A and B are shown apart, each in its own frame.
Chain A
């Protein structure tokens, strides 16, 4: 393939940045939510469960629109952020990352929860008898044992972020250099006369990026499993 055009390079950089930050920032929340859903008992648990999985079943455009209502400059959260902290998320790449994080969250939580449920709690008991407190046990036994699930969750959420379109374009629009990620750029090119070839090039790039992510995660997962003795 010929060298990347400026537009392509920018879209790739932006997509990777958005995907990276969306996954990085939702990771602790993902682990926390997975823990709550797998281990805790509290009223409203099924409500939380439903809420987390909602982005999986409702149209992305709706998610984007809800985010816009909540986080727009006059929205209940967005207004507060703007007035007191001077933060605006709409029409910024951070907003795009947030939209991607929300859309990827159910996938991340699901994978982590499954792996947490598979962790042998008797090993945690053993750690307790050996002098490790609750948090120490979680850090030194539970987390390493659920590592493959965490990895899977990260990769799924990352891939989902790379492909996020509907919520992104609704929430943060289509601004070159800020919110025009690869899918948005592809969409823009298809709307442009003579943009087909460029769109196709970007499509191929998207496929390659996703493939690299998948292969890398497969390789990592195999190493992790080998370490865990499976």
Chain B
């Protein structure tokens, strides 16, 4: 377990935390900028000393204001991947990579440089200087440098935020590989829901210096009260499932979700591979009767669990499956709601016009993300 309690004032900002999460897999720290995400990571790394608090990772207490214990950063053995990379400009890529590696006892070097260089695909860069690297290359080297220090936990502070979409797609598979091949727990700071859906095993939602939610991403997105905090005005559902089979004749993949099946564009994933689908509220339409003779492939029988009126817009939470719980959102006009006479408890049909699928959640050597829209 990773236990973090802290009370800290930084000018007007008040950090008040009490977080307990398993220290395995990827824990995402999510929230808008200024919510205190980076402060949490700095607390863990020992770069920020709280006025009072307690930090423990596994059996190791790193900070305890009650006993005055504060392990200095260099003895915490936490790898830190900074948003801006922070490569040492006076060292070559090789010098950067080995900076932490050289500073640990040889018997503790579980992760070797050849392994990391191969994994991150940075062999051709070794003799270069950081200034001669692209943004994506810098971040890969920064990840390698943190990894080679053989950390007990990897902290990643928005490692993709400074990169454009193409560079992001270049890095994400490496982070997935980290999780899958080294088994190092990762605390991952981000304000991008897409990165969480793709990578995170659990989410801690931060708001105004406090952790307001801890749990799975599926749970988080089903809670409308969190939408405001997430700064994510558009309601969206995330459901975990797996690849059932492929329909090669029409180039489709069938996904099995709790209580439902979805057909999406052919994915390069083997049957059984874990996936997460994201369905936006505005891509879901409602029909009272089972529609026939329409082009929409994915039609699910659902029950209206909740109706939220938002001025001329209406948001319906639709239960797809009771156990395990899975629901999606549908955004319709108030006019449609009135015309159809919709109410809580009604059984209706959800017409899903587009689905985005993120592959490989928990899966082994999976192919990069596929965003698939099927109409």
Contacts and interface: CB of A to CB of B under 8 A. Distances in A.
Interface in A122-138: 122-123, 125-133, 136
B90 interface: yes
Contact of B90 (A128, A129, A130, A144): A144
A128 B80 CA distance: 10
Given A125-B47, A229-B130, A131 B89 contact: no
Contact-residue size bin, chain B (C-beta under 8 Å from the other chain): 20 to 34
B88 to A, nearest CB: 6
B89 A228 contact: yes
Contacts of A128: 46-47, 72-74
Interface of B: 45-47, 72-80, 82, 84, 86, 88-90, 99-100, 103-104, 129-132, 145-146, 149
Contact of B99 (A122, A132, A144, A229): A132
Nearest to B85: A126
Contacts of B79: 129-130
A169 interface: no
Interface in A104-161: 120, 122-123, 125-133, 136, 140-141, 144-145, 147
A119 to B, nearest CB: 11
7 contacts: A128-B73, A129-B74, A129-B79, A131-B77, A136-B103, A228-B89, A230-B89
Nearest to B84: A122
B72 A130 contact: no
Contact of A130 (B84, B103, B129): B103
B103 A145 contact: no
A133 to B, nearest CB: 5
A41 interface: no
A122 B47 CA distance: 10
A53 to B, nearest CB: 29
A145 B132 CA distance: 18
A52 B78 CA distance: 41
A123 B47 CA distance: 12
Contacts of B100: 130-131
Shortest 8 CB-CB distances between A and B: which pairs?
A: A229-B131, A130-B100, A131-B103, A128-B73, A129-B80, A126-B86, A229-B89, A144-B90
Contacts of B90: 141, 144-145, 147, 227-229
Interface string A205-230: 00000000000000000000001111
A126 B104 CA distance: 15
A158 B78 CA distance: 44
Contacts of B149: 129-131
